[in-house]
Amino acid sequence: MGRAFVYVILGGGVAAGYAALEFTRRGVSHGELCIISEESVAPYERPALSKGFLLPEDRASLPSFHTCVGANEERLTPKWYKEQGIELVLGTRVKSADVRRKTLLTAAGETISYKILIVATGARALKLEEFGVSGSDAENVCYLRDLADANRLVDVMQSCPGGNAVVIGGGYIGMECAASLVINKINVTMVFPEEHCMARLFTPKIASYYEDYYQSKGVKFIKGTVLSSFNIDSTGKVTAVNLRDGSQLPADMVVVGIGIRPNTSLFEGQLTLEKGGIKVNGKLQSSNSSVYAVGDVAAFPVKLFGETRRLEHVDSARKSARHAVHAIMEPEKTGEFDYLPFFYSRVFTMSWQFYGDAAGEVVHYGDFSGGRFGAYCVSKGHLVGSFLEGGTKEEYEAIANATRLKPAIEDLGELERQGLSFALTV
């Protein structure tokens, strides 16, 4: 039993949606392309799950956030895939892959073969068990990676109005979920091991701006420690969180955001891996020339930094997917992927953007009390990264352009004095 396609996209997330749109633009024929996804819905904009999807009123719901609505392009509903002749194989997990034979075996026992495979399997949330703590399967412990998780989070949140939530992790999920919980009138305590929130990207000064704002909204921070165990009652619900520093926090619900691992296991021993992902070249092609990898699972050369990186952000998923499809459909016209890393977040009424690399020395500028500030990262005498809080579209474009140019910086004091006008005039 089996089906054969010219192109198969394995995974039905953000990258899959953008790749599908690009295939149709480049002229894929009916019946040539198939998307296999473990999720039961067509590709959607995952970032909505920690933002609009968690709002108490006017909650975002499908089909409103199917890809590619986040990039102001066509919204690809299941009907669209049907009209384009793209086979959507949903609710189907691929359990093994054979890149030599060019086949995938689904959990239902079907063999699907391809000429070209795009691996877009994304990542899975790390579990507390991987850090030696048990209790992840308790009824009111929530993770957030897919729509099923988000539906569960909403149900749990609605089951304890005015209750206490403990948010484990001070990264993206922790910060965005904490804000959404507050908007839902839940009392939030955040617990994380670092000295400040968003330790991978924020400087202590930027983090303190965010933490002060969160505290003004009632959020409590417990830093420099991790949880050691849960108290679980006879109904299977967590009632309290015990921390390694000996303290105990009462909890009606727990949200865990402690990082991810790329879904590479199907290809271990078959494709070259690097930085936890599938290593690809500037055409997003893996060590097997019939297999491409895009999005969170791909480790690709970032030309600007002369280094292979694996990025866990939506813009990189969108653009790497498009580039891979260009490279597949028009190989002779497609150059190397030249990507400027871009991260952003929105919480409460605040938002920031960051371009480039969070490396080297940092220069802050602007008005930290008024919420209009930024920072530059300077490494080896060049601007390599730019952060801006509360910018306009033009200002964000300016910091992106300035970072891409990697201008030489001789005087950090002068850069600090010029602040945003440096990026606007470079």
What residue ranges bind ligand FDA (CB under 6 A)? 11-16, 36-39, 46-47, 49-50, 93-94, 120-123, 144-145, 263, 266, 295-297, 312-315, 317, 343-345
- C-beta of 39 vs 211, nearer to ligand FDA: 39
Alpha helices in 4-124 (DSSP H): 14-25, 78-84
| 272 contact partners, CB below 8 Å, separation of at least 6 | 278, 279, 286, 287
Write down the least CB distance from residue 375 to ligand NAD, Å: 17
| 70 contact partners, CB below 8 Å, separation of at least 6 | 45, 47, 48, 314, 318
**By the 8 A CB rule, do 314 and 47 touch?**
yes
User: Interface with ligand NAD by CB under 6 A: which range of 91-99, 190-198, 241-249, 389-397?
Assistant: 190-198
Write down the least CB distance from residue 259 to ligand FDA, Å: 11
**By the 8 A CB rule, do 251 and 241 touch?**
yes
User: Interface with ligand NAD by CB under 6 A: which range of 27-35, 166-174, 266-274, 414-422?
Assistant: 166-174
Write down the least CB distance from residue 95 to ligand FDA, Å: 7
What is the C-alpha to C-alpha distance for residues 151 and 48, in angstroms, rounded to an integer?
12
**8 pairs with which residues across the strands?**
34, 117
Write down the least CB distance from residue 316 to ligand NAD, Å: 10
- C-beta of 262 vs 419, nearer to ligand FDA: 262
Q: For 285, which DSSP code?
A: B
> Residue 420's binding partner, choosing from ligand FDA, ligand NAD, none, with beta-carbon cut-off 5 to 8 A by kind?
none
Write the DSSP string, 19-37: HHHHHHHTTPPTTSEEEE-
What is the C-alpha to C-alpha distance for residues 121 and 293, in angstroms, rounded to an integer?
9
Nearest alpha-carbon partner for 8 in 98, 123, 107: 98
Q: Residue 194 interacts with ligand NAD (CB under 6 A)?
A: yes
Q: 125 to each of 19, 144, 169, 267, how far by Cα in Å?
A: 23, 7, 12, 19
Taking CB under 6 A as the criterion, the residue among 122, 135, 174, 295 binding ligand NAD is: 174
Q: Residue 173 interacts with ligand NAD (CB under 6 A)?
A: yes
Find the binding residues for ligand NAD in span 56-115 (CB under 6 A): none
> Residue 258's binding partner, choosing from ligand FDA, ligand NAD, none, with beta-carbon cut-off 5 to 8 A by kind?
ligand NAD
User: Interface with ligand NAD by CB under 6 A: which range of 31-39, 100-108, 168-176, 236-244?
Assistant: 168-176
| 178 contact partners, CB below 8 Å, separation of at least 6 | 167, 188, 190, 214, 219, 255, 347
Q: Residue 226 interacts with ligand NAD (CB under 6 A)?
A: yes
Q: Residue 149 interacts with ligand NAD (CB under 6 A)?
A: no
Catalog residues that contact ligand NAD under the rule CB under 6 A: 50, 131, 168-174, 176, 192-194, 199-200, 226, 257-260, 312-313, 343, 345
